């Protein structure tokens, strides 16, 4: 049995060839990544079979399996509340990066409380370290998912009285062809530089902040109904925004945020819509 602080608690064995085998226990991912630097490692390969890999206090990967080379890089697999994931640790100039894919995007999103109900979809997420300790830049790409009963979307659509879309969201669900998110995860907050989602019925763009310690959201965005017909606006104002769109904000605690929609923004030409919003976060700065 090997325990290092409160982040590494496993059973460890060494094979005849010097290879390490971790056969059970738990590891906290953030601390593990902090201690691995690109191009350095244990000098031997490692086979890992963890009961649980802790992503954060609320989320973990069960039945985690990995085959890592002498630099601590290689493929892995597991499940988040039954939703299968696979991926790899790979080298970057600032340390190991992480790529995660899943054929059950809905399962992953429901397991991590991003949405309450959804079906289908594929997911790809990448996390790469920045020059600041504890920070990760990330991207998420989801394709062909159907979302149901999203509280945020229900409140926004209710505010602009889009009855058909409300019925769709409450019923079989709203189809989203593409969802793309670019963000930075720091110890204090998650900064969303851009998040876009669109399907035949709706287009959405969002940016803003989630303050972890406070459990507070501060988001702003644009929702464009009937996106399949309205999407010409994306050429002028950006992906996920149509020619006709409603500005909205989502602020407050995550379990009961305050959603405010500006109905008059629908009459603002898409080219000038950004005038009435604060600048989006810029991760390059």
Distance of CA 277 to the CA centre of its chain: 24
Banded pLDDT at 168 (limits 50, 70, 90): low
More confident call, 202 vs 34: 202
Interacting residues of 193 by C-beta distance below 8 A, sequence separation 6+? 182, 183, 184, 207, 280, 281, 282, 283
Measured distance CA(228)–CA(242) in Å, rounded: 9
Measured distance CA(279)–CA(82) in Å, rounded: 39
Q: Check residue 38 and give its pLDDT.
A: 42
Measured distance CA(1)–CA(10) in Å, rounded: 6
Is the confidence at residue 275, as pLDDT, over 90? Answer: no
Nearest CA to 18 among 48, 49, 50, 43?
A: 43
Nearest CA to 246 among 218, 217, 215, 277?
A: 277
pTM reported for the whole predicted model: 0.80
pLDDT tens figures, 186-238: 989 999 999 998 887 788 889 999 999 898 999 998 888 765 555 554 445 55
Q: Check residue 220 and give its pLDDT.
A: 93
Banded pLDDT at 53 (limits 50, 70, 90): confident
Measured distance CA(258)–CA(169) in Å, rounded: 20
Helix (H, G, I), strand (E, B) or coil at 47: strand
Measured distance CA(236)–CA(256) in Å, rounded: 33
pLDDT tens figures, 64-117: 999 988 888 999 999 998 899 999 999 999 988 999 999 999 999 998 888 888
- What residue ranges do the domains of the chain occupy? 149-285
Is the confidence at residue 281, as pLDDT, over 80? Answer: no
Measured distance CA(248)–CA(102) in Å, rounded: 31
Is the confidence at residue 39, as pLDDT, over 50? Answer: no
Helix (H, G, I), strand (E, B) or coil at 273: helix
């Amino acid at each position: 049995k090997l325990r290092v602080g409160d982040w590494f608690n496993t059973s460890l064995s060494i094979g005849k060839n010097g290879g390490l085998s971790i056969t059970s226990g738990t590891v906290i991912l953030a601390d593990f990544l902090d201690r691995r630097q690109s191009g350095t490692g244990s000098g031997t390969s490692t086979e890992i079979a963890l009961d649980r890999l802790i992503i954060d206090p609320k989320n973990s990967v069960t039945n985690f399996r990995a085959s890592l080379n002498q630099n601590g890089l290689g493929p892995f697999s597991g499940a988040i509340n039954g939703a299968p994931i696979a991926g790899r640790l790979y080298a970057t100039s600032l340390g190991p990066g992480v790529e995660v894919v899943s054929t059950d995007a809905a399962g992953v999103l429901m397991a991590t409380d991003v949405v309450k109900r959804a079906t289908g979809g594929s997911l790809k997420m990448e996390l790469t370290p920045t020059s600041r300790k504890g920070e990760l830049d990330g991207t998420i790409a989801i394709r062909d998912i159907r979302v149901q009963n999203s509280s945020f979307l229900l409140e926004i659509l209710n505010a602009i009285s889009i009855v058909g879309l409300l019925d769709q969201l409450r019923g079989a669900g709203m189809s989203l062809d593409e969802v793309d998110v670019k963000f930075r995860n720091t110890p204090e907050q998650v900064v969303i530089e851009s998040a876009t989602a669109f399907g035949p019925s709706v287009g959405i763009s969002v940016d803003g902040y989630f303050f972890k310690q406070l459990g507070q959201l501060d988001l702003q965005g644009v929702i464009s109904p009937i996106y399949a017909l309205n999407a010409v606006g994306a050429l002028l104002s950006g992906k996920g925004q149509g020619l006709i769109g409603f500005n909205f904000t989502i602020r407050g605690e995550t379990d009961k945020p305050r959603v405010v929609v500006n109905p008059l923004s629908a009459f603002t030409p898409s080219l000038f819509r950004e005038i009435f919003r604060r600048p989006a976060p810029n991760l390059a700065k």
